Amino acid sequence: MTSSLLKQPLQFTLHPKDVLPEGMSWRLHEGYVRSASWDLEGECIALGLWGPGDVITSENPVVQPLELQCLTTVVVEHIELDPRDQHQHLQRERQMLAELLTIQRIRSGERRLLTLLSWIGGSHGQVNRHGCRLSLSELNLTHQALADLCGLTRVTVTKLLCRFRAEGRLLAVGDSDLLIPLQP
């Protein structure tokens, strides 16, 4: 019985703003994690947004420093990545970085934020015939976190979200969900 207990994978429940231990790989069972780094002035550089089912790692990071910060309460399980898993993770990480970089390069702040919200909704929301529904509170995405993801200021994000709601480009659903209507 003791040997079977020793073979149990290491599992953690972490809380918002906690940081996953460095140099390890994890399977995310519940919650959301942001991978990030910082520039020389201390500005956050968001590198990814990970949700349930994703594999995340800080083993042999290309970017230094690299931090895996919990946005919500998360449940993670330590895993050892075999070469096939490493390849799949690197492909997913590269795809996410390319998508975020493409969003961050959109000149118009309005289009950039709407594109980011659609991207988040498509990855971590619910898509239906009316549009894309996402819960910023469930993902614990503050206006600052959205700003970090798309390269805008928090004030700009707040102003744009208010404008989008007033113009009907974002619809409030329930207490904290947003619906991004399908564009005709």
Domain boundaries, the chain: 1-105, 108-184
pLDDT band of residue 81 (cuts 50, 70, 90) is confident
Can you spell out the DSSP letters for the chain? -HHHHHTSPPEEEE-TT-BPPTT-EEEEEES-EEEEEE-TT--EEEEEEE-TT-EEE-SS-SSSS-EEEESS-EEEEEEPPPHHHHHHHHHHHHHHHHHHHHHHT-S-HHHHHHHHHHHHHHHHSEEETTEEEEETTTTT--HHHHHHHHT--HHHHHHHHHHHHHHTSSEEETTTEEEEEPP-
The CATH architecture one would assign to domain 1-105 is Sandwich (2.60)
* Domain 108-184, second-level architecture: Orthogonal Bundle (1.10)
CA distance 124 to 132: 10
Among candidates 127, 133, 160, which has minimal Cα distance to 146? 160
Give the model's confidence band at 5: pLDDT under 50 very low, under 70 low, under 90 confident, else very high.
low
Kindly tell me if the per-residue pLDDT of 139 is higher than 70: yes
% of the chain with per-residue pLDDT over 90: 59
For residue 159, pLDDT over 60 is answered with: yes
pLDDT at 129: 86
- Name which of 56-60, 72-76, 102-106, 140-144 the model is least confident about: 56-60
The reported pTM is: 0.86
Average pLDDT (153-176) is: 91
pLDDT digits (tens, 9 = 90+) for 91-118: 998 999 999 999 999 999 999 999 999 9
Residue the block writes with tokens 């798309």? 150
- Residue 3's pLDDT is 52
CA atoms of 57 and 90, how far apart (whole Å) = 10
User: How is residue 12 written in tokens?
Assistant: 């953690």
